[in-house]
Structure 1
Amino acid sequence: MTIPVEYNWSPNRSVRGDRKWLGFDTIAISCIASTCDFVVLIGASAAGHLLYQQIGSGDATDLSLYVGVGLFIATVFVLAMFGVHAYRPAEIRSVRRQLPLILALLPAAILFFIAVALFLKIGTTVSRGTMITTAGLSVTGLLGLRLFWRHIGNAFSRARFPSRKVLLICPGTMQVEPVIQRATQSGLSVNHIMTIAESDLPVGGMGEAYQRNGIDDVDEVLVAWSDYGNLRALEKCLSDLRQFCVPVSVMFGGVVGEVVEGFAQTVGERRAFQIHRPPLDFFQRLLKRAFDVVFSIAALLVMFPICVMVAIAIKLDSPGPIFFAQSRKGYSGRAFRILKFRSMSVMEDGGNVRQATRNDPRVTRVGGFIRSTSLDELPQFWNVLRGDMSVVGPRPHAMAHDDLYGALIAQYASRRHVKPGLTGWAQISGCRGETPTLDRMADRVQHDLWYINNWSFWLDVKIVVLTIRTMFDRSNVY
């Protein structure tokens, strides 16, 4: 079972300092990349004004207005990109991951500016043609920068990007590949791996063993542990590591890993970890509900033409109703009827519901497309407006599946501490689609519980933005 870890997990920074890339560390590169975006967006706004005015009237005036427009749009866009951690060196080099973010956040920043301009009654001073030209130049400039960063990354190789060299210490029975993958996502480069077991422990110190495994060549030590029947080996390991002037971080898996990921508080001289956060207070519920209502209304207005086309396609493709309603459990276990576009030739509900599988004969031709693109979920914005669901939260399952998994997974019922959502932390973390095994569902539950225990308004915004990116991946949905 995989323990969910947020992408920005990072141990303490090494006292030896990060490795450099062209003389800059991770923070400096993020600042350089964001500053370049800032300059490009301001320049695109000014250039868009000059270009459109020269083509339209042959005279470009009041350039300062559009420099100000570019300043506003650039500020909103750069802050949003920082909010989703898009300026990390590993992220900025990936055009595939950057493109959806640019296409989502840049139009949002422009629309936000237009809304502010209309509210301040200065919308008539801004040319629509200039804004369209500015948007085109901005997208071109931002994508050009991404290609430049990728070229620089390829030229100096991935290993030259800032990363902290790490000695990984773990039990011999642990699978190290998932740990290395997580370390890489967090800017760590595992240069050496040392496995230890109870029988390997000498009577004296282990200093020579650490030196043989490269401790003098790394910036820090990462101990990954899940062998709780062998705590003596861990205690001996940590004790002997104190003689070396390198920082040591310990990462736990299993039940201990779940506990230490909770909110930490001081009780006397000890640290306690809160594994279940208190319910959202009145202000938090109000903020989340306001976001749900505003976002749902905007989504329904924007997606209305698509909804009409989907409804017509469903009606022409196969006999039956356009919408499909099914009973689900919501907040505190209260039942509600979830609404979807019909994607199957059956209307299963009640105590016998079978999950969709790959090449499922029940899925219609139109249904296969709208399921893989999540268009079948659009009517659920109505459930959000009614208050049955939220935009972000654990995905609700059919009653039959709820009863089954509730009996098999001890923490399953904890998912109902918040309203179910259209999307969630589990969905953007790879737990989307069918759950053919109990471990797959348990993994999804762990991600849902992490979301509940770490909820914030900005986490909801981050999940919505990342959902747009994951919608391009249709491999696990059918």
Structure 2
Amino acid sequence: MTIPVEQNWGPHLSVKSDRKWFGFHSIAITCIAAAFDFVVLLAASAAGHLFYEQMTYGTLADPSRYIGIGLLVATIFVLAMFSVHAYRPSEMFSFRRQLLLIVAFLPAALFFLFAVILFLKIDMAISLGAIVTSAALSLSGLTALRLFWYRYLNRAMARAVFPTRRVLLVCPGAMSTEPVVQRAALSGLSVEHTMRISEGDHSLASTSDAYVKSGIGDVDEVLVAWSDYGNLRALEECLNTLRQFCVPVNVMFGGVVGDVVEGFAQTVGERRVFQTHRPPLELYERGLKRAFDIAFSIAALVVMFPICAAVAVAIKLDSPGPIFFAQSRKGYNGRTFRILKFRSMSVMENAADVRQATRNDPRVTRVGGFIRSTSLDELPQFWNVLQGDMSVVGPRPHALAHDDLYGALIAQYASRRHVKPGLTGWAQINGCRGETPTVDRMVDRVRHDIWYINNWSLWLDVKIVFMTMGTVIGRHNAY
């Protein structure tokens, strides 16, 4: 049976696509918000220098050097915010998330600046006091801007400034529509009417009067959300009947079909096919990823060395035992390696019965609890990256005991080893951190890892690195 579909939408396209906030309003707000941030950071750099010089030495020095610093910091910060789509109006509604991103990306931009100066051996007499003053002014200015945007966008929504498209939602009778309605609202879609097609009720699906009574004449488009694959005949008749109406029809699949249509689409003959497993990275792609790993790891180890030294001293003073902890893990193509971590527990488990850390785990030391929640215990793994056993971004490696357990329970689990394991990954920035008390939690993590492998690009790695900074500050599910 052939299902006539006007346009296939995977779940990620239906609720997280670039059609959010239709029209000129979205583009204007995005550009203006980015421009304001750039100007604030540039002005804060110059003003911080002038203020510090005036208060310290009673003179007004040439601010051109700090304007140059401000240009570099502002450019890095704005690009980082763009990489996580933080300037979208829907993202600007989350004041807490915006603050987390600012606190993460502003110091990161400054660290990157210092790393460039250090590696290029640029002779610059930079006043630390002026930098601190500029950073404080930048943080205050960016926070004030977020308060402005938060209030403005709420008023704009109340006055219906942003255009929306009215939708007729067609779905199976037993399907819960609340999640679809809520996420559709973030995509500029307003569900005005809902039409449910019960199992076996083919007459309703094939009767044009039923759609008229459901309000198809009052909407701009139709969204069919389908997950009842035992009732495909009703879906086929529904789509055939909808061809009679002059409205766009979009289909959103759930379950296994939804996962398939998220894959890369290409044409074979006259048919569209979806690639569910991409081929291994080609030689130039592996070289590009390796070059990024080496450059980023060296810069991170240099910049984070004082923090690593402080953590090492704290571990030694807090509890007896070594500073580092090494554990066997499986890497690319199943090859075993020894992963390095700062010791965060009072035990050194590396056997067949390794137990995951849980909330309030008595094995976790006082210092260990802090470095685990902030992911500082993972910093020694940059050495694993330099050795070639790991990558900066990739699926997180698990203990061998957990590999054996989940490998027998989850069919796609071994597919995670088609790339090198990473310090962070797509799963981690999407909330899949910490303990996996149920198989479903691990299935969700594996699903994100497979998506990353199938959609890898250098830009995706850069995006994940920036998003990880905000995720670490949130300290979700890490203990």
TM-score tier, shorter chain, comes to 0.7 to 0.9
Superposed displacement of residue 425, structure 1: 0.8
> What is residue 259 of structure 2 aligned with on the other side?
258
> What is residue 16 of structure 2 aligned with on the other side?
9
- The answer (yes or no) to whether the contact 1:42–1:70 under 8 Å persists in 2 is yes
What one-letter code is carried by the residue in structure 1 that aligns with 2:221?
E
> 1:472 & 1:129 partners in 2: Cα distance?
25
> What is residue 403 of structure 2 aligned with on the other side?
402
Superposed displacement of residue 336, structure 1: 0.6
> 1:43 & 1:459 partners in 2: Cα distance?
31
* Aligned: 1:434 with 2:427: no
> 2:409 & 2:113 partners in 1: Cα distance?
50
> What is residue 92 of structure 2 aligned with on the other side?
92
> What is residue 349 of structure 2 aligned with on the other side?
348
* Aligned: 1:235 with 2:236: yes
- CA 247–126 in structure 1, closer or farther in 2 if over 3 Å, else same: farther
> What is residue 327 of structure 2 aligned with on the other side?
326
- Greater mean deviation of Cα atoms: 74-83 or 440-449: 74-83
> What is residue 474 of structure 1 aligned with on the other side?
475
- Greater mean deviation of Cα atoms: 280-289 or 391-400: 280-289
- The answer (yes or no) to whether the contact 2:14–2:252 under 8 Å persists in 1 is no
Alignment of 1:60-459 (within 5 A): 60=60, 69-110=69-110, 112=112, 124=124, 130-157=130-157, 160=160, 162=162, 163-202=164-203, 205-459=206-460
Superposed displacement of residue 187, structure 1: 4.2
> 1:217 & 1:82 partners in 2: Cα distance?
36
What one-letter code is carried by the residue in structure 2 that aligns with 1:97?
R
- The answer (yes or no) to whether the contact 1:153–1:161 under 8 Å persists in 2 is no
> 1:19 & 1:206 partners in 2: Cα distance?
32
> 1:204 & 1:299 partners in 2: Cα distance?
59
- The answer (yes or no) to whether the contact 1:4–1:450 under 8 Å persists in 2 is no
Superposed displacement of residue 207, structure 1: 3.6
* Unmatched segments (≥5 aa) in structure 2: 1-9
Show CA shifts across 1:256-291 (max 9, x none). 112111111111211111111121122221221122
What one-letter code is carried by the residue in structure 2 that aligns with 1:93?
F
Q: Report SS of the residue matched to 1:170.
A: strand
Superposed displacement of residue 337, structure 1: 1.0
Q: Report SS of the residue matched to 1:85.
A: coil
Superposed displacement of residue 66, structure 1: 5.3
- The answer (yes or no) to whether the contact 2:19–2:187 under 8 Å persists in 1 is no
Q: TM-score, normalised by structure 1?
A: 0.88
- Greater mean deviation of Cα atoms: 154-163 or 431-440: 154-163
> 1:414 & 1:266 partners in 2: Cα distance?
25
- The answer (yes or no) to whether the contact 1:393–1:448 under 8 Å persists in 2 is yes
- The answer (yes or no) to whether the contact 1:391–1:421 under 8 Å persists in 2 is yes
- Greater mean deviation of Cα atoms: 452-461 or 63-72: 63-72
What one-letter code is carried by the residue in structure 1 that aligns with 2:138?
S
- The answer (yes or no) to whether the contact 2:266–2:272 under 8 Å persists in 1 is yes
> 2:435 & 2:125 partners in 1: Cα distance?
52
> 1:111 & 1:475 partners in 2: Cα distance?
24
Alpha-carbon RMSD: 3.0
> 2:151 & 2:19 partners in 1: Cα distance?
30
- Greater mean deviation of Cα atoms: 449-458 or 177-186: 177-186
Superposed displacement of residue 9, structure 1: 3.4
What one-letter code is carried by the residue in structure 2 that aligns with 1:154?
N
What one-letter code is carried by the residue in structure 2 that aligns with 1:88?
R
What one-letter code is carried by the residue in structure 1 that aligns with 2:30?
S
Superposed displacement of residue 306, structure 1: 2.6
> 1:197 & 1:299 partners in 2: Cα distance?
57
- The answer (yes or no) to whether the contact 1:4–1:446 under 8 Å persists in 2 is no
- Greater mean deviation of Cα atoms: 233-242 or 120-129: 120-129
- The answer (yes or no) to whether the contact 1:89–1:161 under 8 Å persists in 2 is no
- CA 407–263 in structure 1, closer or farther in 2 if over 3 Å, else same: same
What one-letter code is carried by the residue in structure 1 that aligns with 2:142?
L
What one-letter code is carried by the residue in structure 1 that aligns with 2:420?
K
Show CA shifts across 1:116-163 (max 9, x none). 678888754876655444333222211111010111123344684634
Superposed displacement of residue 34, structure 1: 1.5
Superposed displacement of residue 176, structure 1: 2.9
Q: TM-score, normalised by structure 2?
A: 0.87
Superposed displacement of residue 382, structure 1: 1.5
User: Identity rate of aligned residues, in percent?
Assistant: 70
- The answer (yes or no) to whether the contact 2:166–2:190 under 8 Å persists in 1 is yes
> 1:310 & 1:33 partners in 2: Cα distance?
38
* Aligned: 1:44 with 2:38: no
- The answer (yes or no) to whether the contact 1:327–1:350 under 8 Å persists in 2 is no
> 1:7 & 1:83 partners in 2: Cα distance?
20
- CA 314–189 in structure 1, closer or farther in 2 if over 3 Å, else same: farther
* Unmatched segments (≥5 aa) in structure 1: none
> 1:167 & 1:436 partners in 2: Cα distance?
39
- The answer (yes or no) to whether the contact 2:202–2:233 under 8 Å persists in 1 is no
- CA 401–119 in structure 1, closer or farther in 2 if over 3 Å, else same: closer
- Greater mean deviation of Cα atoms: 26-35 or 143-152: 26-35
What one-letter code is carried by the residue in structure 1 that aligns with 2:366?
R
